[in-house]
Amino acid sequence: LPGNPPVQTKKALKQRFLKLLPCCRPKSIPSLSESKTVLVSATLSSPGFLADSVEDEFELSTICHRPEGLEQLQEQTKFTRKELQVLYRGFKNECPSGIVNEENFKQIYSQFFPQGDSSTYATFLFNAFDTDHDGSVSFEDFVSGLSTILRGTIDDRLNWAFNLYDLNKDGCITKEEMLDIMKSIYDMMGKYTYPAMREDAPREHVENFFQKMDRNKDGVVTIEEFLESCQKDENIMRSMQLFDSVI
């Protein structure tokens, strides 16, 4: 995607992506092939959602936010029943209250960039997941965004990326918004790459971005310009498929 750090291998990017998502770390969410024991014990029963025992019902009763029914989440996302089980187990393990607020989100994110400042980028990402803008990310918000990123069509994924860059949600991306995104990425990890990034690198990246995508040269990039430019860029199209079947 435009604004992303330098391209890494597909495997490394998949691993990093899952690590960076709050409540979706490898220790909490093993791959499905490694999770047969977990899945057996986490077999769902409707309408109790993820509860298959008195103990699970008790655990759910202590959670502040109770997620929607499993069948409804299956209809709303592209995850299977078993995948939702694994995702929820990991989410509940990291977020026992059932929701993540912005400060929790930033704290989780900062653990993976201890030498940089990831707080600003984490805020931008949090706002992209918080689609109803209520200041929290529920399990429904989480799996909805994750489904789009991992299993959505190319247009779905590009629309999600556009929403991330459109900071004030007015339907277009300005140079200022893209520069804020780029600075947050360089603050998070660019300063600690080798060779070191130049201080003017974020602004240069933004200029290149707009030269390529701002077709009518009006100083903003609309969703139409964004989609058209990305679909014509082979590198971006390849990046759209990096996370296929991650889980």
Rounded CA gap, 231 and 105, in Å?
Answer: 31
Residues 118 and 183 in one domain: no
Residues 211 and 176 in one domain: yes
Torsion on CA atoms 144, 148, 150, 154, rounded to nearest 10: 180
Cβ-count burial of 204 within 10 angstroms (0-12 exposed, 13-18 middle, 19+ buried)? exposed
Residues 110 and 160 in one domain: no
Average pLDDT over residues 220-243: 85
Greater pLDDT, 234 or 193: 234
Greater pLDDT, 71 or 47: 71
Domain span at 221: 155-246
Greater pLDDT, 9 or 133: 133
pLDDT of 200 over the 60 cut: yes
Domain boundary, last residue among 107, 124, 152: 152
Domain boundary, last residue among 132, 152, 172: 152
pLDDT band at residue 11, thresholds of 50, 70 and 90? low
Query: 152-183 as b/e, with b when 16 or more CB fall inside 10 Å?
Result: beeeebbbbbbbbbbbeeeebbbbebbbbbbb
Residues 88 and 101 in one domain: yes
Average pLDDT over residues 141-156: 91
Q: Residue 47's pLDDT is what?
A: 32
Residues 143 and 192 in one domain: no
Specify which residues 101 forms β-bridges with.
136
Q: Residue 235's pLDDT is what?
A: 81
Q: Residue 191's pLDDT is what?
A: 61
CATH number (domain holding residue 124): 1.10.238.10
Closest CA to 59 of 79, 42, 71: 42
66 located within any domain: no
Domain boundary, last residue among 134, 152, 170: 152
Residues 107 and 122 in one domain: yes
* pTM reported for the whole predicted model: 0.68
Number of domains in the chain: 2
SS3 label, residue 53:
coil
pLDDT digits (tens, 9 = 90+) for 17-50: 444 444 344 333 333 333 322 222 222 223 333 4
